[in-house]
Structure 1
């Protein structure tokens, strides 16, 4: 027992093997870290502002949470920090409980996520169906693209709006005198990002495109919106004040934030694992790492952190292979705070918007989308529903609705494959065989199919039938509703004077049937039989006696 717990604890902690590929890939990791750091900087500031905690808190989160999640997380290429979804969830908490509640709710949510990882709840993400994952990915890619539309057009979106609504309002009330300048920067970055890999794959197209666009804007004097002034330092770590009343008040908010952090981080890590050749991820360790990242962020005055699919995608596309890239990303942001605020403040926002737009398009695999749409109608509908809800409403709602849709279609499919087959009696015909009905239950008898099976059994009845044999040896699934329905069927038929014999009850169904009273009644009458020949012989005795 102790050895098992020790092995599990060791699996959730950092190990030297995390950096086994670093000697061969460190150059690509460093370049990827620099690229994603440049992309993450304005996002961190923007998400901090939109959540209500301020730009400094967003930057603190990107630095502190980014490095903690990189070291302790379960993915080799995941980049963590503040995200748009978290900003949306956190904004009403700040408005309702005040800015002073952020540190406590961040730490509390982080501890909940750590507990989820330690107890093994990270594996639950493996039960999320493929169409839901791909729908979520397409939805996230669309959100990333829509979030960049205002900056790509040189406009400012009104706060508190969904990305779709904000993008629509910007496009419908466009000021072309400003937009044409921003679009020129966007076009420059897009062309470079598409063309540079064709020239040489080793060229970091994102970073190069941003540098070229920045030099062009500064040297020519193009009037484009820039990143602007940055915080000059990070605060000292302070434990948030916590009392019982505060914990009780913020527990609900912390649970919601923890749920979002867990779902978004695990889905981001899972998507990243499909994009990167760096190998699989450990979902439990990922939760532990993300939880510790939020705890550290709260102590330093930041906001809750999650795995960020946009930055993670940039990281992977830039060539990252180990978690060294995410560490470099945080180190670069830390260096920017103390050393490079002037240079970074000159980067045009339109250039960064273009990088994310290209990244979002690369996240979507047209082949994968077509494969799902051509698979089954239910999978296609689940995929589309998840993507639409992600874009129009909320990430957690999208996953929940996608799971419900997938579960509904799966249960409906199982129920449709469940059937009652009318079989002929084995052996040569004998007198009174017309008084015996042999039925075989196939598939599953559960709450979704029990009523229909009950009707089919009833439809098999004829006035002269005296015995019904129900074969259960082919029944794959039985739940309490199905067992209760069988009990009702047996009682109803017996009340009509029809003898019920059940043949071939499987071992895994025996306890359930016993608990609902079916087995005891049948055993009392010696009508629970394992052999078909014995069941038919017993039925013929009843039929001849009737």
Structure 2
């Protein structure tokens, strides 16, 4: 227990090699901080919590997750997926609920890390992950449509329906005067973000695009909505007051946020581990760090945090090797809070909408989508279904439905490879061999195929059989339903006067077969044998004495 606690806490070797890499770590941290600034502001606004909350989250949660997390190069903060989940919570429960739900979700993630649930993300199928990512990208884009055309989103509507109604209202009214300014800003930002990296990959395209758009809007006095006033310092940490009635209504939302935080953070850390030479990550410690980050963020007035795949990728590509880079990223953003909130407040909302729209397209890999769609029909269906449910209904429900459908397809695939094969007895034929049925169980015998295997074993086409040998050495999977069915088959055959001999039981199946009564249903203990020769010799002895 003590060694496990040590593994989950910060230690000296978290900063191994810092003497050699500190310059690269500091430079990477500054680069990520510059990239993260417009994203933090944009995700805070799109969630409904506000730009200040997004900035606070990037500072506080980014710092805590960097110190306590399980990855050396992970960068944490507000993300598009979290903004998508928070928006309906703000609309339904009000802005005052965010602090409580953030802290509660953080505690749930901490509990998941301490209890060792970090490796559960490996059970998420690839088509579910990619469908989830595609759905989130679509929602991020759709969320920005109202800001992009300068029209407020109708309250109480889903993301897809709200975007449709805003566009339909502008088209129906024919009044494009307000929309032209905001659309022009969005197009300008998109052009800069797409074109600048082609000229020089090292430039922070999103920040340059936002700064240039802000300067042009101010210089030409373009009438567009801006971020507005931001705090010039971090607020004092205050734990939210716990109202039992409010807590009951927010538990479901907190569980959904915690699930999303855990999934996205672990996926991001896993991607970072494949990109970086710093080695593997600790999934349980990563959950602990992300949970503590959300608790701290909620105390300072921020929003729930997760590992951010895009910012983590920038961190790795910029040469980060230790946690110092993520710490520096938070300090850069902290400097913005204390030194530059005035200029930041003038940033047009439509400029941030442009940043998020371009970001949503960058989240989608056309090559990956093509690979999923070309893989198998079942995986393609899972991918499409997860994406559609994510956009039209709910993110967590999309993952749940995707997992269920993937499990059903997996069970069907296993069931198809499961069979009962009737074999000829080896060697020359002997008198009475026609009364012996040699049956081999292949693949798996579980609840999905137990009835079909039962029908194949109890074969009405061979009425003169007096001895049945069931070979189980090729059986890979056996569950309680399959074992119980085998016990019923043995009992039924023995009741008809047919001797059952079971051969080659796998060691891992012995206790299960014994517990459900398979061995008790055999006529004698010596009808459980280890080799095929022994089973055939015993069967022939029964035929000769019959």
TM over 0.5, shorter chain: yes
Residues 205-239 of structure 1: per-residue CA shift (max 9 Å, x gap): 22222222222222122222221222344332234
For residues 352 and 460 of structure 1, the distance between their equivalents in structure 2, rounded to whole angstroms, comes to 73
> Matches of 1:89 and 1:120 in 2, distance apart?
30
Q: What is the match of residue 452 of structure 1?
A: 452
The 3 A distance-change label for structure 1 pair 151 and 275 is: farther
Aligned length: 538
Q: Residue 125 of structure 1: CA displacement? A: 0.5
Cα gap change, 1:246/1:365 in structure 2, threshold over 3 Å: closer, same or farther?
closer
Find out whether 1:5 has 2:22 as its counterpart: no
Distance 2:48 2:330 in 1: 16
Aligned-residue offset at 1:122 = 1.0
Q: In the TM superposition, what whole-angstrom CA distance separates every residue of 1:252-290 from its partner, at most 9, and x where no partner exists?
A: 654444333323433444456667787654322221111
Aligned to 2:132: 136
1:234/1:359 Cα in 2 relative to 1: closer, same or farther (>3 Å)?
same
Residue aligned with 1:120, SS? coil
- Which residue of 2 is the match for residue 472 of structure 1? 472
Q: Compared with structure 1, are the counterparts of its residues 231 and 29 closer, same or farther at alpha carbon in structure 2 (3 Å cutoff)?
A: closer
**Contact 1:502/1:529 (<8 A) preserved:** yes
Structure 1, residues 74-129: CA drift from partner, whole Å, max 9, x if none? 3423322373244146437735xx93x65444333322211211222111101111
More off after superposition, 360-369 vs 234-243? 234-243
1:475, distance to aligned residue in structure 2 (A): 0.3
The answer (yes or no) to whether the contact 2:62–2:75 under 8 Å persists in 1 is no
Pick one of 90, 95, 114 that aligns with 2:110.
114
SS at match of 1:431: coil
SS at match of 1:390: helix
Matched-pair contact (CA < 8 Å) for 1:440–1:471? yes
Q: In structure 2, the residue corresponding to 1:476 is in which secondary structure? A: strand
In 1, Cα distance between equivalents of 2:88 and 2:348:
28
| Partner Cα distance (1:473, 1:57) in 2 | 61
Alignment of 1:299-378 (within 5 A): 299-308=299-308, 323-324=323-324, 326-378=326-378
Matched, 1:284 2:284: yes
2:430 match: secondary structure: coil
Unaligned 5+ runs, structure 2: none
Task: State the match for 1:149 in structure 2.
Answer: 145
Counterpart Cα distance in 2 of 1:461 and 1:62? 72
CA distance, structure 2, for counterparts of residue 319 and residue 387 of structure 1: 33
**What are the superposed Cα offsets for residues 327-359 of structure 1, whole Å, 9 maximum, x if unpaired?**
455444434443323211221222222222222
In 1, distance between residues paired with 2:431 and 2:245?
80
Corresponding residue for residue 61 of structure 1: 57
Q: Distance in 1 between matches of 2:44 and 2:4?
A: 37
Per the alignment, residue 228 of structure 1 pairs with 228
- 1:415 maps to which residue? 415
CA contact (8 A) 1:44 1:62 kept: no
**SS of match in other structure, 1:238:** coil
Matches within 5 A, 1:53-132: 57-75=53-71, 76-81=73-78, 83-88=82-87, 90-91=89-90, 94=93, 99=96, 103-132=99-128
Q: CA deviation at 1:18?
A: 8.8
Q: Which segments of 5 or more consecutive residues in structure 1 lack a partner in the other structure?
A: none
Deviates more, 1:345-354 or 1:420-429: 345-354
Contact 1:444/1:476 (<8 A) preserved = yes
| 8 A contact 2:60–2:293 mirrored in 1 | yes
* 1:387-402 pair list within 5 angstroms: 387-402=387-402
Change (3 A) 1:11 1:448: farther
1:264-275 pair list within 5 angstroms: 264-270=264-270
Please state whether the residue corresponding to 1:201 is helix, strand or coil.
coil
What is the distance in 1 between the residues matched to 2:320 and 2:132?
Answer: 23
> Helix, strand or coil for the counterpart of 2:477?
strand
1:23 is aligned to 23
The TM-score, its normalising length taken from structure 2, stands at 0.89
Q: In structure 2, the residue corresponding to 1:538 is in which secondary structure?
A: helix
The superposition leaves residues 1-52 of structure 1 with CA deviations (integer Å, 9 ceiling, x where unpaired) of: 64x3365235789821496744225334312211211221142244253xxx
Q: Does 1:158 align with 2:154?
A: yes
Contact 1:70 1:323 in 2 (8 A): yes
Rounded Cα–Cα distance in structure 2 between residues aligned with 1:154 and 1:243:
37
1:173 to 169, 189, 192: 169
Aligned pair in 2 of structure 1 residues 184, 317: CA closer, same or farther (>3 Å)? farther
Match of 1:403 in 2: 403
* Contact 1:34 1:328 (C-alpha < 8 Å) held by counterparts: no
CA-atom RMSD in angstroms: 3.0
Report what 2:436 is aligned to: 436
CA contact (8 A) 2:10 2:67 kept: no
Which whole-Å CA distance do the structure 1 matches of 2:394 and 2:277 have between them? 30
**1:153 Cα deviation after fit:** 2.1
